Chain A
Amino acid sequence: CGFHLRGDGGHYTLPFPTMYVGLPESSPLAIDLKRNIRANGGTTVVGSARDADGVIEVLSNPEKTKTKTILALDNNGRVRQYLLSYSIVFRVLDKQGKELLGPTNIALSRPIDFSDSQLLAKEQEEALLYKDMQTDLVQQMMRRIAAIKTAGVSLPPPPADKQPSAQKPASVPPAVPAQ
C-alpha cells in the first residue's frame, strides 16, 4: 500500500549543525527537546544563541500557559471532566536573527475524568497527561523544525546513506512512553 519504513535522511534530519533552545535549563520541556535534537546525531545543542546555526525562540512558554477548563458537569453541578491544555508558540531564527520558521503555534489538549473523591490521584494523573503532551509536543516541534529545509521542495529527499545505522543515537523514537 505504498508504506515503507522511515529511512535515514528522512523527514527527521534537522537542517542545522548546531542549535540553541531558548528555554530555562531546568525546564522539563527543554530537557526533552534537547535530548531529541541530540538523538538526531547530526545536530549539537549549544549553550548560547550566538554560536547556534538555528535558534529556537519560545514566544509563549507552555509551562506557563497550562490551563484547566471544565469539560463536563454532572447533574449536581459537580465537575466530572476537565480539559488540560498545553500550547507553545515558537519560531526558529538563524545566526543573523533572520526568521526561518515564523511564529508557530502548537496546541495540545487532553481530557481528564474527574471526581472530587479522587483529588490526590487526579493530581498525579494530571502530571502524567502533561508529560504525555510534552512528549507529543516535542515530536511535533521536531517535525516542524525538520521541515524547515524541505518546505517548498516537492522532490523527495536524497537517498538515505547506506551505512548501517548506529544503534544510538540515530533518530528519535516515534513516540516515547509517557513515563
Chain B
Amino acid sequence: YAQTPKQRAPRVEDKTAPTVLMAEDISGRPEREIVLQRDAEVIKDKTKVKSDTACFRQVENEVQAEGDVKIWRFGDYFTGDELKLNLDSGQGYMLNPTYKLEANHAQGKAERINFINEDEAQVVNGTYSTCQSVTPDWYLRSDTLNLDSGRDVGTASKTLIYFKDVPILGTPALSFSLSGARRSGWLSPTPGFGSKNGPELVVPYYFNIAPNRDLTLYPKLIGNRGLQVGALARYMGETDGGLYRGETYVEVMPRDRAYAEANPDKKSDRWMVRSNHTQDITPDWAYSWNVRAASDDNYPNDFSKTVANSTERQLLRELRTDYHGDIWTLTARVQKYQVLQDPDSTTPVPRPYDRLPAVNFHAAQYDVAGGFDWAFDSELTRFYHPTLINGTRLVAIPQVSYPIIGPSYFITPKVMVNAATYSLDAYNTQSSENMSRAIPTFSLDSGLVFERDVTWRGKQMTQTLEPRLFYVYTPYRDQSRFPTFDTDAASFNFSQIFSENRFVGSDRIGDANQLTAALTSRFLDANGAEMLRLAFGQRFYFRDQQVQLDSSTPVVDSRSDILLAATGRISDTWTFDSAVQYNQADKSVVSQSYSAQWVPGAKKVLNLSYRYLRDSFKNVELSSQWPIFDRWYGVGRINYSMLTKKILESLVGLEYNADCWVFRTGAQRFVTTSTKQSTQIFFQLELNGLSHLGVGSPLEAMKSTIPGYQRLNDGYGR
C-alpha cells in the first residue's frame, strides 16, 4: 500500500491549435458554417472526428457529425451514429456509441454518451468491461455510468454485473478505478464453506483514505454463527520526529449462535484484535506496541483461516521504547501474555512469565585504546507469573575483547563476566530471599581464510576454505537454587556452537572447558554471489557439563553431535538447503532437513522438503504452482507426518486466467489439535480492473504457504 498514483499525461489541449477540416466535398457559409460531405474529417490537436458527413459551426467551434462517426480523444476511441461536440468546452453527445478507453483498455457500448468535458463522459444505459474481445466475458450494465479520466474513477448508478451474459451481481451503486489503481470500492465477494462454520460469504469493502492510509472492512456471514465484521486499518507517515507505521485488525462477532448453544453459561460475543505500531519520536527515540488479544480459548479453533493463526495461543501484549545514544541503547518494555488454552488438547499451553517491566541497557565501542572492543549489557527485569515464583533480576555483563585481524586470519581473545542478583518473593513455604552470583568466561575465537580459483560448470569461481576454532572456559558455579525465569537450553546449530553459553537466557551460565571446530567452504561467482556453502562443525568437551536446567546429573560427553550443512543456488532454476545433526556415540541422526526448490519458468515452481527432529516430528512437504493446460493453473501443497501417517496440512487449488478475469477455487485442510481438523472450501471470481483483492483472501493462503507462488493477473489489485 501507500503507492503513488500512476503518472498520466495531463489532458490539456492546446486551445490555440488550428482546426483542420477535410472532406471530398466542402461547402457552406464562410465564417459561419462549413458542411463536409463524404469522408469528413475534423482535427484539432488531440481530438479527431471522422464521419460520412459533418457540419462545423465556426462561431461555436462545434462539430456535428452523422453516419459512421469515429472520434479519437486523448487516446480514447468512440464510434457511433451521431455526434455533437464542442471543441472548446469538450461538451457534446454521441448516439448509439461504442467506446474504448486508453486506461485499462476498457470498452463498452451504450445508447448515448454525454461528453461533459475533456475528462468526463457519461454513459447512458451502457456497458463497461476490461475484456478485449468483441463479446466480453464479463461486463457491467448500468443506467448511468460516469467515466472520469481526470480523477481516474468510474461511478455507476444501479448496476448489474454480467459474467458470460448471466447477471451474477446487482448493486445500487458502484465505483472503480479506470486505470486499475487503488481506490475505494467493493472487493471480490468470496463465498466459501467451512467444516465448522458452514457456508460463508465475505464481501470486503476497501476505503482508500489517502496514499498512506487505508481501511478494509470484511463483513462476513457465517452460516452456523452469524455476522462477523473485520476491519483492517493500515497507515504510515512521517512527523517531525521521524517515521511511523502500523496496522490494526479487529474482528468482532456479536452473539455467536453456535457458541451460545454449546456454551450457554459463557458470553457469546466473540472478538479478536491484532495491532502493531512503531514510531520515531526523535531520530534517537522510538516507541512501539504489539498487542494481540482474543475473547476466548476457542477462538483460534473456530475462526482460523490458516495454521499460523490456529497455532497462535500465547498472545503477546508489549509496549516498548528504545533510546539510542552514540554508543549505547536503552530499551524499556512491558510484556504480558494472554494464553488461549486448547480445550481439545490434553497438554496445556504453558503460560510464560510476564515482564513488568524489563529495562535493557547496552553499550559498546570498537577499536578503542589500541584495538580493544568492549561491550556492556545490563538488564533489570521484574518477572511475574500467577502460579510460579516471582522475582526481580538484575544482570550485568561486561566484556572486553581484542580482535587481531588480517586479510586471511583473525584471533579474538575475550573476557566477560555474567553477574546477576535476584530478589525473590515468598513462594509456597519459601520466604522471600536475595541471592547473587558472578561467573567469568574466557573465550578465544580464531580463523583462517584460504582461497583458490576454480572452474565449476564452466564458470570462473572462487572457492574459500575457512577453518575456525573457538575455545571457551567458564568455571563451574552451582546455580541449582536459582529459578529459571526466561532460560532454556539453546538448540544446537551453527550459530549456537560459536556462543559462549549453551543456555539462552541469564538464569544459567553453563560451565565450559570446550573447543568448537568448524570448517566452511564457499563457492563465490565473479560477482561475489555465494553459489554454494558447505559447512562442518563439532564441539569437544574437556570437562563434564555440571550446570543443568533442573537436573543435578552432569552431562559427560566428550564431544558434541556433528553438524553438517550444504546450501546453494546450483543453477538458475535450482536451489537447495540441507542440514544434519549426527550423534557419533549412538550412530544416529538427531535432526535432519533437506529442501529443494525448482523454478523452471514463470508461474512454475516445485518445492520439496523433508524435516526430521528426533522424538518430535518427521514431515515431508510438497508444494507447487504449475500450469496444467492452456489457461489453467494448479496449486497444491501437502504436509505429511511420517510418524503418525497423517496429513497435517493440505491445500489444492485451481486457477483459470482469462484475459480480463481470474477464477480461483480451492480447498484447504489443517490440523487444529491431535483429533480435530479444519476444512475450508473457497471460490473467487476476480474481474480485472473492477474488483481488487484484499488481505485475507484465498490468494493469501496460496501465497503464504507455497514458496515461489506468483499471481496470475499481476498488476491488478494490490
Contacts and interface: CB of A to CB of B under 8 A. Distances in A.
Contact of B308 (A11, A70, A125, A171): A70
Contacts of A25: 283, 324
A77 B528 contact: no
Interface residues of B, number: 89
B409 to A, nearest CB: 8
Nearest to B671: A77
A63 B284 CA distance: 16
A59 interface: no
Interface of B: 283-284, 307-308, 310-311, 313-314, 324, 329, 337, 345, 347, 349-350, 352-353, 366-367, 371, 403-410, 412, 445, 447-454, 460, 462-466, 468, 470, 485-488, 490-491, 493-496, 498-500, 503-505, 520, 524, 526-530, 579, 593, 611, 613, 616-617, 619, 639, 641, 643-644, 646, 648-649, 670-674, 704
Contacts of B649: 73
B643 A75 contact: yes
15 contacts: A3-B465, A11-B528, A39-B405, A70-B311, A73-B641, A73-B648, A75-B648, A77-B673, A120-B486, A120-B487, A132-B494, A143-B529, A147-B527, A154-B460, A168-B371
Contact of B405 (A2, A146, A169): A169
A73 B593 contact: no
Interface in A70-106: 70-81
Contacts of B407: 5-8, 10, 12, 165, 170-171
A154 B458 CA distance: 13
Interface in A120-161: 120-122, 124-125, 128-129, 132, 140, 143-147, 150-152, 154, 156
Contacts of A76: 345, 347, 671, 673-674
B371 to A, nearest CB: 5
B287 to A, nearest CB: 14
Given A6-B451, A10-B451, A178 B499 contact: yes
A112 B504 CA distance: 13
B488 A121 contact: yes
Contacts of B496: 128
A1 B465 CA distance: 11
A116 B307 CA distance: 15
Given A26-B324, A152-B526, 12 more contacts: A25-B324, A73-B639, A74-B616, A79-B311, A116-B350, A120-B353, A121-B490, A121-B503, A129-B495, A143-B529, A173-B403, A175-B447
Contacts of B313: 116
* A-B pairs, 9 with minimum CB distance: A147-B528, A121-B488, A143-B528, A120-B486, A132-B495, A3-B450, A5-B408, A77-B671, A173-B410
Interface of A: 1-8, 10-12, 24-26, 35, 39, 69-81, 110-113, 116-122, 124-125, 128-129, 132, 140, 143-147, 150-152, 154, 156, 165, 167-175, 177-179
Given A3-B465, A112-B491, A174 B410 contact: yes
B672 A77 contact: yes
B613 A117 contact: no
A175 B520 contact: yes
Nearest to A10: B407
A73 B449 contact: no
A146 B528 contact: yes
B373 to A, nearest CB: 10
A150 B526 contact: yes
A151 B526 CA distance: 6
B674 to A, nearest CB: 4
A109 to B, nearest CB: 8
B450 A6 contact: yes
Given A1-B452, A72-B613, A152-B526, A165 B310 contact: no
Given A5-B449, A172-B405, A128 B460 contact: no
Given A4-B451, A77-B673, A169 B367 contact: yes
A138 B371 CA distance: 21
B307 A128 contact: no
B111 to A, nearest CB: 50
Given A144-B528, A169-B405, A173-B405, A77 B617 contact: no
A118 B488 contact: yes
A25 B327 CA distance: 12
Contacts of B465: 3
Nearest to A153: B526
